[in-house]
Structure 1
Amino acid sequence: MNNHAARHLISTVDLSDAELRALVERGSELSRESLRSGDRLAGLVVGINFLKTSTRTRTSFSAAALRLGANIISFGPDDLQINTGETLEDTGEVLSRMLDLLVVRSAGDPGDLRAFTRQQRMSVINAMTADEHPTQAVTDLITLLCRFGRIEGLRICYVGEGNNTAAALALTLSRFKGVHLRLCTPPGYGLAPAALRRALAYAEESGATVTEVHDMDTPPVGFDAFYATRWQTTGSSKPDPDWRRTFAPFQATTALWDASPDAVFLHDLPAHRGEDVTAEVLDGPHSLAFDQAENKMYAAMSVLEWCARRI
Structure 2
Amino acid sequence: MTRHLISINDLTDEDLRSIVARGVRFRSGQARRERPLDGEVAGIYFKKTSTRTRTAFSSGALRLGAQIVAYGPDDLQLNTGETHADTGQVMSRMLDVLVARTSGDPAELRQLAAQQRMSVVNAMTADEHPTQALTDLTTMLDHFGRIDGLRVLYVGEGNNSAAALALALTRYAGTHLELRTPPGYGLTREVLATASAQAARGTATIHERHDMAELPGGFDVVYTTRWQTTGTSKPDPNWREIFAPFQVGEELWVGSPDAVFMHDLPAHRGEEVTAEVLDGPASIAFEQAENKLHSAMAVLEWCRRGPVAEPPVAGP
Q: Could you say whether these structures have the same fold, taking a TM-score greater than 0.5 normalized by the shorter chain as the test? A: yes
Q: What residue identity is the alignment partner of 1:229?
A: T
Q: Does structure 2 retain, via aligned residues, the 8 Å contact 1:136–1:165?
A: yes
SS of the aligned residue for 1:308 comes to helix
Paired position in structure 1 for 2:101: 105
1:74 matches 2:70: yes
1:164-218 superposed Cα distances (whole Å, 9 cap, x missing partner)? 0000000000011100000000000000110000000000012100000000012
Give the residue type in structure 1 aligned to 2:248: A
Matched, 1:54 2:50: yes
Residue 41 (structure 1) aligned with residue 41 (structure 2) = no
One-letter code of the match for 1:20? L
For residues 62-87 of structure 1, give each alpha carbon's deviation from its aligned partner in whole angstroms, at most 9, with x where no partner exists. Answer: 00001111000000010000100111
Tell me which residue corresponds to 2:80: 84
Separation in 1 of the partners of 2:103 and 2:175?
29
Deviation sequence 1:230-282 (CA, Å, 0-9, x none): 00000100000000000000011000001100000000000000000000000
Q: Would you say 1:252 and 2:227 are equivalent positions?
A: no
Tell me the CA shift for residue 219 of structure 1.
3.0
Corresponding position of 2:236: 240
**TM-score when scaled to structure 2?**
0.95
1:150 lines up with 2:120 in the alignment: no
Q: Measure the CA separation in 2 of the matches of 1:283 and 1:40.
A: 37
Alpha-carbon offset, residue 291 of structure 1? 0.1
* Matched-pair contact (CA < 8 Å) for 2:36–2:305: no
Matched-pair contact (CA < 8 Å) for 1:266–1:289: yes
Aligned residue for 2:305, secondary structure, equals coil
Alpha-carbon deviations, 1:34-74, whole Å to 9, x = none? 77975221000000000100000000000000111100000
Q: Distance in 1 between matches of 2:130 and 2:241?
A: 29
Within-5 A mapping of 1:201-220: 201-220=197-216
Aligned counterpart in structure 2 of residue 174 of structure 1, from 159, 165, 170 = 170
SS of 1:266's partner is strand
Amino acid at match of 2:3: R
Q: Percent identity?
A: 64
In the alignment, the residues of structure 1 paired with residue 288 and residue 32 of structure 2 have an alpha-carbon distance, to the nearest angstrom, of 17
Amino acid in structure 1 at the alignment position of 2:247: Q
Q: What is the aligned residue count?
A: 307
Report the equivalent of 1:135: 131
Which of 176, 195, 199 is the aligned partner of 1:199?
A: 195
CA distance in 1, matches of 2:180, 2:32: 38
Deviates more, 1:212-221 or 1:88-97: 212-221
Stretches of 4+ moved more than 6 A in 1? 34-37
What is the aligned counterpart of 2:290 among 285, 290, 294? 294
Q: TM-score, normalised by structure 1?
A: 0.97
2:257 and 2:148 mapped to 1: Cα distance?
20
1:224 aligns with 2:220: yes
Match of 1:94 among 71, 90, 93: 90
| Residues 37 and 68, structure 1, Cα contact 8 Å, conserved in 2 | no
Amino acid at match of 2:144: F
Per the TM alignment, residue 220 of structure 1 is displaced from its structure 2 partner at its CA by: 3.5
- Does residue 187 of the first structure (1) align with residue 183 of the second (2)? yes
- Inter-partner Cα distance in structure 2 for 1:157 and 1:235: 25
